[in-house]
Amino acid sequence: MMKISTAAIYTIWLREMKKFVRAKSRFVVSLMTPFFFLAFLGFGFDKNFVFPGLPPGLGYLDFLAPGIIAMVLLFSSMFAGISVIWDKQFGFLKEIMVAPVSRTSIVLGRITAGITTGVIQGITILLLSILLGFSVISFSGALLSLVFIILISSAFVAVGLAFASRMEDMQGFQLIMNLFIMPVFLLSGALFPLDNLPGWLAALSYINPLTYGVDGLRGALIGVAHLPLIVDFTVLVGFCIAMILLGTYLFSKTEV
């Protein structure tokens, strides 16, 4: 069994980051939808409006911003799998698969790149939210939110790689991702409090791992969480480890 190669991880990370830096227009466009969510939904409710389920004194923009950050992480992380299918079609994946490095190193390189781009996008949306009037309770809370950003990114990058390792068609991958992403996002409590959901939908929300990411971000950034932060952290860590192991296993079975 081959050992994990830090050189291979770095090389793959560097390649993915160069692709990310060169696609400046794609980065800007990817931020437009979350910005519109923040601007139109956040300002669509007057500060004096009492949104059902929100704690007293908490504006909807403050409630919404952590959910939108999680949305950006979910979408960008899951679609990181597109690069795997792209590399399959153009033969690059075959070249690195026959290289004398472990497939675990290849997966870790791609996950590390996905985490890096996710952190960049998450911090960018956080800064845009602050410019729009979002208030972070403390600097330590902002640092804690980075932990949840990294966990969300790494987990869903691994999910995207797991899907991509079993698929050959890019259009089919995008359809499957959209079918997977929308329920995960809408059931995470990103747009509305979980207390407003009927019992059966609330049960589905607690099965959804992104729910704990959104709740953890809210707890870190605004001090309001539905669950204890240690619960959010523990569930996310467990899900992250499980998805990385699954993504690594499925990728190791990929035929090119």
Confidence band for 44, pLDDT divided at 50, 70 and 90 = low
3-state secondary structure of 166: coil
Percent of the chain clearing pLDDT 70 (strictly above):
89
Amino acid identity, position 110: R
Structural domain spans, the chain: 6-43+54-252
**Rounded Cα–Cα distance for residues 142 and 79 (Å):** 26
The string of pLDDT tens digits covering residues 7-24 is 888 888 888 888 888 877
Give the mean model confidence (pLDDT) for residues 225-254. 88
The string of pLDDT tens digits covering residues 120-167 is 988 999 998 888 888 888 889 889 999 999 999 989 988 888 888 777
**Rounded Cα–Cα distance for residues 58 and 162 (Å):** 39
Spatial contact of 225 and 232, defined as CB atoms under 8 Å apart: yes
The residue written with tokens 């910005």 in the block is 35
**Rounded Cα–Cα distance for residues 32 and 206 (Å):** 29
HSE-CB at 91 with a 13 A cutoff on CA atoms is 0
- Per-residue tokens: 184: 């995960």
Is the pLDDT reported for residue 96 higher than 60?
Answer: yes
Q: Which helix (H) or strand (E) holds 197?
A: none
Q: Report the largest interatomic distance among the alpha carbons of the chain, rounded to a whole angstrom.
A: 62
User: Backbone phi, then psi, for 50, in 5-degree steps?
Assistant: -95, 105
**Rounded Cα–Cα distance for residues 237 and 240 (Å):** 5
Closest CA to 211 of 184, 230, 237: 184
Cα-based distances in Å from 76 to 26, 79, 94, 116, 228: 11, 5, 24, 11, 27
Predicted model pTM: 0.87
